[in-house]
Amino acid sequence: SFGKFETSPLLGSQLKVLQEIENGVLQKAEGTEIYNYRPMMNPEAGATIKVLYTLTLESSGPGAIPANVNSPKKIFYEAAHDSDGIKNQGSIAAALQKAVAAIDPVATPEAAKEFANLVHVIEQGNKADILAAYSAAQGKTAKNIFLDGLLYAGSAESVEAAAELLSSKRIPEESALLWYLDLNFVKHVSRGSLTSLLPLLSGDKVPYQAYLGIGSVAGKFCLQHPQLCETSQEYNQLLARLAAPLAGGCKVDSHEKENNIIASLKGLRNTRHLTAEIAQQISQCAADRSARSRVRVAALEAFHADASKPVFTQTATIILYNVEEDSELRIQAYLALVANPTPKVADIVKELIDKEPVNQVGSFIVSHLRNIRASTNPEKEAAKQLLGNIISKKKFPFDQRKFSKNLELSYSLDALNVGAVGEMNRIFSQKSFIPRSVSLNLTTQLFGHSVNLAEFGLRTENLEWHLEKYFGRKGILRSKGKEIIDDFADEAETVVNKTLERNKRSINKQQTFDAIDKIHLGPDYEDRHTNLDFSLKLFGSDIAWINYHDEFDFQDVKKKLNSKMDESLENSKNININYKKARTFLDAGLTYPTGLGFGLKIKANGNYAANIKVNGKADLKAIMNNPKNTHVAFQFVPSVSLELASTLSVDAGVFKCGMKVSANLHSSTGTDLTVKVLDGYGVDVKLGLPVKKQEILNFHSDVFSVFREKTRSEEETPVKFNVRREDHGGCFDQLNTLTGLTVCGEVSVPLDGFKVLSPAYGPSKASLRIEKEDESLTAYHFRAFYDNKQPDKLSLEVLLDTPNSKTDRKFLLTAKGSMKPQKQLLIVMESPLTVPTTFEAVVIDTELEQAIAAKLTSDTAAYFIKIGAHISGDINRRKYEPILEYKFPETAALSDKGWIGRKGVKGGRQQQQSAVGISGAIYVEKNPGTAYRQYELQSVTLNTPNIKVTVDGTITIDANLVETDLKASYENNTFTLKSKVQKLGERKYTAEVEVLPSQYPDLAGNLKWQYERTPHKIEHNLVIVHGPDLTSEMSRLSIAQLFTYKHESAKDFDFHTVNTVSYPLLAFTGSLKGGVAPKSVMYDVDVTYEKHQIKSKLDAKRGMKEPSDYSIEFEAKALENSVDLTLKHERVSATKSKFTNSLQMKPGGKYQLNVLVENNVKTGDVHQSLEAELKMPQEPKSVKVKAEHTHNSKEFDVEFELIAGNKHVVDFEVECNKAADPSGK
C-alpha cells in the first residue's frame, strides 16, 4: 500500500461501538457494523450487510497471563487461506460432468457458469482428489476441460497436482507452456507447492517459461509467508535450482546457454527475495566483462528482485563509475542503484552527475531525476525525497534521435484515490545508431494500492548492422534494390509453378535465385547475428520472454517462404479444427475484516467457454492449376458462452453466503458452404444449415442470493424485485414461405427511469435468433451457368432451390439467344409464387425493313409489340418510314399462338393503329468516306388519342460539327430548336443554342459559349439571353473569365486572373482580379447589387529597390463602412530605414505612424537612432518619440524624448565622456 489513505467507492461502511467500563474494567461491549455494497449503482439499490456482536464480562480474578506470545502479528487484517484442501472428489466429478455437458456438442448459455463452478471446486480440493478426478475423467473433452479448470484454480493443492501432471508428461507438451505462464497468477503457495515444482527444473532442457513461472511462484510464497521466506528449506532449494544455470559463470560458448542464463535471471527477478549466495552469483555475472552484453543487462535487471542487497549496490556503483563500460550497461546499473534509494545512493549520483563525461549516460540520468521531481507516483516518494534535489551543474544534449532518455507521464486524482503512471526508458549504446533497448511501464494506483499493470521491453543487438547493410548509403537494397526485387519476383513465380507440378515438397539449390550473390557484397558481416529480446511483465512479474537469434538474409527468407507455401498448400486439402476451451479471464477480489473475524468478500469473476468447429477442403494446388473447376467446401459452427459475475459474501470458513449479480452472453450459430466453379463459366453454391436454432445473440443478467458449503457447489436463489418491467417479443415469419426461416427477438428489462441500466434493479434479457421451421430444409442451392460453346448461340441458366424440402421453393430462370439465322432471344422463368412466364424477341434486319419485335406470355395472357422502319432509296440517301405495331390481351384472341411476323397477327396492326401511330419519313444523307451525316425529318408525326405532334427539320453531324434546326408543331403552337456546336481548333470550342416556344414566349432563350485554351492562357465566355426579345441588353447574363499562367521554377512564376459577371435585370455586377508573382500579390474584388457595394483590394510588393523593401496597400468597403491600410518600408541608405504606415477607418478616423530608424554598428563604434511620429484623430493628435544611442571609444550617449501633443512627457539624456585614467595618463 503506497497511498496516504485507502478507500473504495465499491463499499460504504459504518461502525458503532458501545462500551461499559466500571472501575477501569470493561464490563460489556456491543458493536454494529453496516456495509453498503453499490458498485457503480444508484444509491437506492445494492446490498446491505449488518454485523452485530456483543462481549460480556462473566468473571474476573487476580493471576498471571498463562501463555507467552512468541509469534507476533501485525494489526493489519490478513485474509485467511486454507493450507490444505478438502476431500471433494465427488464434487469435482459432478462439476466436471456438468461443464462437459454444457460445452459439448455445442456451448450452451450455462457453459461459462458451469466452468466457473468447476474451477471453484478444484480450488477447494486436495492434491489426491484432484489427481483422482483427473484419472477418472472419461474422454478427451472431459480431460481437456478438467485441465482448463485446473489451470485457473490457483490454489496450493492445484499447483502441486499440476506440477505432478507436468513432470509425469500427462499434460500435452503444447499445453505445458500455457501452464508455466499461468503459474504467475497462482492465488496461494505452500511449502509443498515449492517442493512439487523442483522436478520441473531438472533435466538438460528446461523451458524458458518454466524459470519465469516458477520464479513467480517463489515470489508469491515470500509475499504470503514472509516469516518463512528466510528460513524455509524448500524455498532455498527452489532458489538454488532456479540459479543452476549461473553456477558455471555467465561466459558461455553457445547462444542456447546464454538464453538459459537469461531465463534463469528473469526467473530469479520474479522471486523478489534472494539469498546472499544467489545475489553474489548474479553480481558476478553483471560484473563479468567477458560475458555478452545481453546477459549482463539481464543480470543488472535481476538486481531489482532484492535491490537493497549491499553486493548489488557495490557492483552497480562500480559499473556506473566505469566510463569504459558501454553506456547501456551503465544506465542499467544506475536504474538498479536507484531502485533502492538511500542517502548513500544519493551521494553517489550527485558526485557522478557533476563529472559525467559521457553524454548518453548524463542525458538519461538528468531526465530521470527531472521526472522523479515531477512525478505523482507514490512509489517514487522516497526517491523524490532523496534524489529530487540533485540538479546537475553540467548541461547534457537532449536530441530525441540520438540520446538516451527517461520519459514519464503521471497524474493523480486524490478525490477518488486513483492515479496512473506511464514510464518509458529509451537507452542507446555507443555501438549502435538505433536504441539498444526500449521499455514501457504502465502502473495504476487504485484505492491506496499500486498495481503494475504491464511492462513491455524490447532489446536489439546487431540490428543496426543489417539496417546499414540493406538500407544504408551503400546498402544493397538502395544500390541494387530494383534488380533484387525483380529477381525475387521471377524466382517466386518459378517456385509457385514448380510447386504446382511436383508431387512431393522439396527445396533444391536450382531454385535459389541469382540475387543471393548480390546480398553478400560489401564488408564481411561475420558473427553479426541479430538478437531481438521481447519481454512482457504483468502485475510485476515476467510472464513472457521471446528471443529471435538469426543472421537475416534473403536466402533464409526465401527458403522459409517456400516451406510455408508448400505446407499451406498441403494443409489446405483437409482442414479440421475442433476447438473446445474454457478460460477464466477475470478473477479479482477484495476481503474486508469484520468484528466477528469473518471476511467480507467482494469478488469479480469472468469466464468463457467456446466450442468452435471448422472443417474445410480446398485443394489449392488443384485450384491454381485449374481454377476453372475450383471446388471448395467449408463448415463453420461456432458457439460461445461468456459470463461476468460480481459477488458480495460473508466467508464463515465452512460456508459462504451473500448476493451475486451476473451477466451472461451466448451465441450459437453454424453454416455449411460448398462452392464449385463450373468450367469457368458458372458457379454452383450450396449453403447448409447444420444448426436448427441459430442463436445470434442471447444476453441475460440475473441477481441471486447465493449459498455455498465448502464441499459443495454453489446454490443460487433468484431475488424478486418489485419494479415495473417492460417485455417485448415477437417473430418475423413473413418470409417463411420463401426461406423456411423465422427470425425471433425478445427484450425484457426493468423500466423505471434509468434503472434499466443497472442489473441491481432486477434481471434483464435480450435475444435474437433464427429458427428453422421446416425440418426437411437442410440447405439452399444456387446455380448459375453461362454456356457459349456453340457458335452463334448463348444460354444462361440461374437456379435457386431448397432440395429435399417438402415446400417447393424452386426458382429457375433460363435465357437463350442466337445470332443466326436471325437474332433471337428466349427467356423462360419458373417460380412457385408466379405463373410461368416466357419472353421472346427477334431482330429483323433486311434491305427493306429494320425492326425489333417482342412477345411476352404470362399464363394465358400475351403481349406483342413491334418497333422499326421500312427502308427505301439508294445508299447515299435512304428513306425510313416508321413502324409501330402492338397488341394487348384485350384485343388478342387467347387461342392465338402464332409467332410474331412483320405485319403481326391477323387484324392486330389495323386494330392498334387507330389508338397510337407514327407516320412521316426520315431521310438520311451521307458522303461516302467522310463523317458527314444529315438527317432530314419530313412530317414525322406521333398520333395519340389526345395529341398530335409533328416534327420537321434537319440534324447535321460532321467531324467537328453538330448542328440542329428542328420545328415541332402541336395544335396551333410551335417549338423551334436551333443549335450549333463546333470545334475550331485543338482546344477551341464554340456553341450556340436558341429555343423559341410560341405558346410561352417568356421561356425563349439564347445561349452563346466560347472556350479557348493555349499553353499559357485559358479564356472562357458565356452569354445567356432570355425572354421574348433575344437582343435585349437587360435580360442578359454575361460571364467572362481569363486566366494566364507561367511557371518556370519556384522563383520564376506569374499567375493572373480576371473574372467578371453582370446581370442588368437585377442591377448586379461583380469582378474578381488577382495575381501572384515572386515579389507581388494582388487582388481586387468588387460586387455591386443595386445601390449596395462590397469591395476589397490588396496590392503587396517586396524588394522594389532593396531586398528588405516592401509595400502593402489594403482596402475594404462594405456598404458605408470602409478600411484603408498602407504599410511601407524603404531602405533610405545602408544604415537608415523609413517606415510609413497609415490606417483610415470610416467611421473612426485616420491613424498614421511614420518611423525613421538608423542602425550604424561598427567595431568599436555604435550609433543607433529612432524617430517616430503617431498621428491620431483624437487627443493628443500627435505623439512623437525620439531615441538615440552612441557608443564608441570616446563617448557613451543615450537620449530619449517622448512628446504627446505639445507636452514633453519624457525627456531623458545620459552622456558619458571617457577621459584619462585615474593616474592622469
Beta-carbon count within 10 A of 1078 CB? 12
Q: What does the pLDDT read at residue 793?
A: 87
pTM above 0.75, yes or no: no
Q: What does the pLDDT read at residue 553?
A: 62
| pLDDT tens-digit map of 370-429 | 999 988 888 888 888 898 888 888 888 877 788 899 899 888 877 667 788 899 999 988
Grid cell, residue 213, equals 513461472
Q: What does the pLDDT read at residue 912?
A: 40
Q: Average pLDDT for residues 453-469, to the nearest whole number?
A: 81
Q: Average pLDDT for residues 1051-1079, to the nearest whole number?
A: 95
Residue 765 has pLDDT above 70, yes or no: yes
Percent of the chain at pLDDT above 90?
A: 37
Out of 607-611, 714-718, 918-922, which region has the weakest mean confidence (pLDDT)? 714-718
Out of 530-544, 1083-1097, 1162-1176, which region has the weakest mean confidence (pLDDT)? 530-544
Q: What does the pLDDT read at residue 659?
A: 85
Q: What does the pLDDT read at residue 80?
A: 64
Residue 480 has pLDDT above 60, yes or no: no
- Residue 935 pLDDT grade (very low, low, confident, very high; cuts 50, 70, 90): very high
- Residue 507 pLDDT grade (very low, low, confident, very high; cuts 50, 70, 90): very low
Residue 316 has pLDDT above 90, yes or no: yes
- Residue 337 pLDDT grade (very low, low, confident, very high; cuts 50, 70, 90): very high
- Residue 314 pLDDT grade (very low, low, confident, very high; cuts 50, 70, 90): very high
Q: What does the pLDDT read at residue 900?
A: 35
The answer to whether 37 and 648 have CB atoms below 8 angstroms apart is yes
Q: Average pLDDT for residues 501-509, to the nearest whole number?
A: 38
Q: What does the pLDDT read at residue 1224?
A: 42
Highest mean pLDDT of the ranges 138-147, 553-562, 713-722: 138-147
The answer to whether 1184 and 1173 have CB atoms below 8 angstroms apart is yes
Highest mean pLDDT of the ranges 281-285, 418-422, 762-766: 281-285
| pLDDT tens-digit map of 1000-1020 | 999 999 999 999 999 999 999
Grid cell, residue 534, equals 521481447
- Residue 784 pLDDT grade (very low, low, confident, very high; cuts 50, 70, 90): very high
Q: Average pLDDT for residues 660-675, to the nearest whole number?
A: 91
Out of 481-490, 743-752, 779-788, 807-816, which region has the weakest mean confidence (pLDDT)? 481-490
Domain spanning 573-778 has what CATH number?
A: 2.20.80.10
Percent of the chain at pLDDT above 70?
A: 87
What are the boundaries of each domain within the chain? 11-56, 467-528, 573-778, 1132-1225
Name the one residue in this structure whose C-alpha cell is 542499467: 332
DSSP 14-80: EEEEEEEEETTEEEEEEEEEEEEE-TTS-TTSSEEEEEEEEEE---------SS---S---SS----
Q: Average pLDDT for residues 524-553, to the nearest whole number?
A: 73
Beta-carbon count within 10 A of 599 CB? 21
Q: What does the pLDDT read at residue 272?
A: 86
Query: How distant is the alpha carbon of residue 643 from its chain centre?
Result: 26
Helix (H) or strand (E) holding 141: helix 140-153
Q: What does the pLDDT read at residue 910?
A: 38
Highest mean pLDDT of the ranges 491-505, 838-852, 1089-1103: 1089-1103
Out of 639-653, 1074-1088, 1182-1196, 1209-1223, which region has the weakest mean confidence (pLDDT)? 1209-1223
Distance of alpha carbon 818 from alpha carbon 854, whole angstroms: 15
Q: What does the pLDDT read at residue 255?
A: 84
Query: How distant is the alpha carbon of residue 1070 from its chain centre?
Result: 49
Residue 5 has pLDDT above 50, yes or no: no
Residue 341 has pLDDT above 50, yes or no: yes
Q: Average pLDDT for residues 1119-1145, to the nearest whole number?
A: 93
Q: What does the pLDDT read at residue 905?
A: 35
- Residue 525 pLDDT grade (very low, low, confident, very high; cuts 50, 70, 90): very low
Q: Average pLDDT for residues 815-831, to the nearest whole number?
A: 87
Highest mean pLDDT of the ranges 36-40, 343-347, 447-451: 343-347
Name the one residue in this structure whose C-alpha cell is 537620449: 1199
Task: Write down the mean pLDDT value for the chain.
Answer: 84
Residue 816 has pLDDT above 80, yes or no: yes
Q: Average pLDDT for residues 1203-1224, to the nearest whole number?
A: 78
Q: Which of 460, 468, 457 is nearest to 435 (CA)?
A: 460
Q: What does the pLDDT read at residue 721?
A: 80
| pLDDT tens-digit map of 1176-1185 | 988 888 999 9
The answer to whether 1136 and 1151 have CB atoms below 8 angstroms apart is no
Q: What does the pLDDT read at residue 329?
A: 93
Q: What does the pLDDT read at residue 186?
A: 87
The answer to whether 595 and 50 have CB atoms below 8 angstroms apart is no
- The helix, strand and coil proportions of the chain, stated in percent and rounded to the nearest 5, come to 25, 45, 30
